[in-house]
Amino acid sequence: MQLKDIARILEAEVLTCEDKLNCTVEAACGCDLISDMLAFTKEKMIVLTGLVSPQIIRAAEMVDLSGVVFVRGKRPTPDIIELSEELGIPIMCTHYPLYESAGLLFAAGLPGWRHWPRAVGGSEDAP
Amino acid sequence: MRLEFPVAGRDFQAAGGAAQKIKRTLRQIGIDAETARRVGIVAYEAEMNIVIHAFSGKVGVDILPERINVFAYDQGPGIADIDLAMQVGYSTAPEDIKEMGFGAGLGLPNMKRYSDNLVIESEVGCGTSIRAVINLPTKEGS
């Protein structure tokens, strides 16, 4: 699945890094806590979150995430958008809540951490 | 080669900046992406622990031929029970910090998860020091 497919499925507005919409995404994680994100994501994954904070983008860069989707209609502040552009982390916004966003993507074939063969320690306590 | 950055307690605007510079430098000098990711996560968690819990501190790395040592030390309240702090889900972060997405009780467990060796020393009322080792992959890729 590509980032543009995620934007289409979630009816999301892409806010930054539109040049990366053809990037491949292999799995997704829904979380509102930074350390959960660091524990259960890696490159070629996206995060679905309702936490609007610059730290989401900073943490996303640490794990080489392919993108961040803000759910529940939440809008990132200008400093978050600026940081996203600086670090090259695509962000988009969807009106769907977290549970429904995850369900739509899972049903479309995008696995979570536990069902992703490349996950490290994926059989353990994944969210 | 040593990189070291000051970290100010409660400065959430700058928080994460030191880990970001460390990770970027590692990639620029040719360290592989997976090792840089592991070092970045450990450094980020160490930096955020200082921001959340301490008055001030430093975080950095020593880049050696076979491994990268991440270090962090702070002047702060210290950790009374390190074994308890290592338990997944245990957190002493105040409510206002948790509302910012921190305090999952995964900071120290994440540092252990992504390092090959982790040593934590702490004195209540003085501060905490952390040393983590991340081995570089061998040429055979193991």
pLDDT for A120 equals 58
d(CA B32, CA B35): 6
pLDDT band, residue B136 (cuts 50/70/90): very high
Written as six digits, the tokens of B93 are 């972060």
What are the residues facing B5 on neighbouring strands?
B59
Q: Establish if A108 touches chain B: CB-CB under 8 angstroms.
A: no
Q: Which residues of A touch B13 (CB under 8 A)?
A: 54
pLDDT band, residue A87 (cuts 50/70/90): very high
Q: Mutation target for A interface from B22, B41, B108: give the one with most A CBs within 10 A.
A: B41
Domains of chain B, first to last: 2-135 (3.30.565.10)
Q: Would you give the DSSP letter of residue B12?
A: T
Which of the two residues, B71 and A116, has the higher pLDDT score? Answer: B71
pLDDT at B142 over 90: no
d(CA B24, CA B28): 6
Q: Is the dihedral of CA A18, A20, A22, A27 positive or negative?
A: negative
Q: What is the ipTM of this complex?
A: 0.89
SS3 annotation, chain A: CEHHHHHHHCCCEECCCHHHCCCECCEEEECCCHHHHHHHCCCCEEEEECCCCHHHHHHHHHCCCCEEEECCCCCCCHHHHHHHHHHCCCEEECCCCHHHHHHHHHHCCCCCHHHCCCCCCCCCCCC
pLDDT for A36 equals 92
pLDDT for B140 equals 66
Domain ranges of chain A: 3-111
State pTM to two decimals: 0.92
- Our CA-based measurement puts residue B38 at a distance from the nearest CA of chain A, in whole angstroms, of 8
What average pLDDT does this structure show over A62-70? 96
pLDDT for A113 equals 85
Say if the Cβ atoms of B101 and A121 lie within 8 Å: no
Cα B142 → chain centroid:
24
> Which of A39, A53, A56 has the CB atom closest to B113's CB atom?
A39
pLDDT band, residue A119 (cuts 50/70/90): low
Q: What is the pLDDT of residues B74-98, one digit of tens each?
A: 999 999 999 999 999 999 999 999 9
What average pLDDT does this structure show over B1-14? 96
CATH number belonging to domain A3-111: 3.40.1390.20
pLDDT for A114 equals 79
Q: Establish if B33 touches chain A: CB-CB under 8 angstroms.
A: yes
Say if the Cβ atoms of B88 and A125 lie within 8 Å: yes
